[in-house]
Amino acid sequence: MAQDFALPIRRVILPRLKADAGVTALIPAARIYPATVPANPTFPFIRYGASMVAPFRASGLDSSAVTVAIHAFTKDITNGSGAITMTAEDAAAKMADAIGRAVDDTTLALEGGAGKARVTWTGTNLLQDPDEAGAWHAVVNLRVEVAG
């Protein structure tokens, strides 16, 4: 029977993002959240999206593939005097690139020796955030395969 690795994968991807210098140069580690984000979060921030799990039934292994999106939200970046130094659209693109670079083509060991997760970046969408004026939203899509 195949195993659902969504939770163990989240438990290795979030710390990976929080420890990556390229990501934390743009988003402080304290603003990298699981699916639940505090009310009125400070921009920019990252939220781990819902996972979709598919078993590897034909393999006969205790394995699965997980598709997950990492969501990054930002507004215009300003300097101390309030002048825009980077537009929200450009900041979202930079955040997406940093997230992809932090995890693409990596193999992460799952807790307790439960296997290894092979992470592949599969694409990014940049969107204006309809819920927040002036905000942009990057959706970084990942496919993670675990051979248990």
Q: Could you tell me the two tokens for 79? A: 């300097």
Quote the pLDDT of residue 146: 87
Alpha helices in the chain (DSSP H): 6-19, 21-24, 88-103
The residues, any chain, with a CB within 8 Å of residue 107's CB and separated by 6 or more, are 116, 117, 118, 119
Query: What is the band of 1 on the pLDDT scale with cuts at 50, 70, 90?
Result: low
pTM: 0.92
The residues, any chain, with a CB within 8 Å of residue 18's CB and separated by 6 or more, are 24, 29, 32
Quote the pLDDT of residue 99: 98
Quote the pLDDT of residue 113: 78
The residues, any chain, with a CB within 8 Å of residue 105's CB and separated by 6 or more, are 119, 120, 121
Quote the pLDDT of residue 114: 75
Q: For residue range 84-137, what is the model confidence (pLDDT) as tens digits?
A: 999 999 999 999 999 999 999 999 999 877 789 999 999 999 999 888 888 999
Q: What is the mean pLDDT of residues 57-69?
A: 77
Asked whether the beta carbons of 27 and 19 are under 8 A apart, the reply is: no
Quote the pLDDT of residue 58: 59
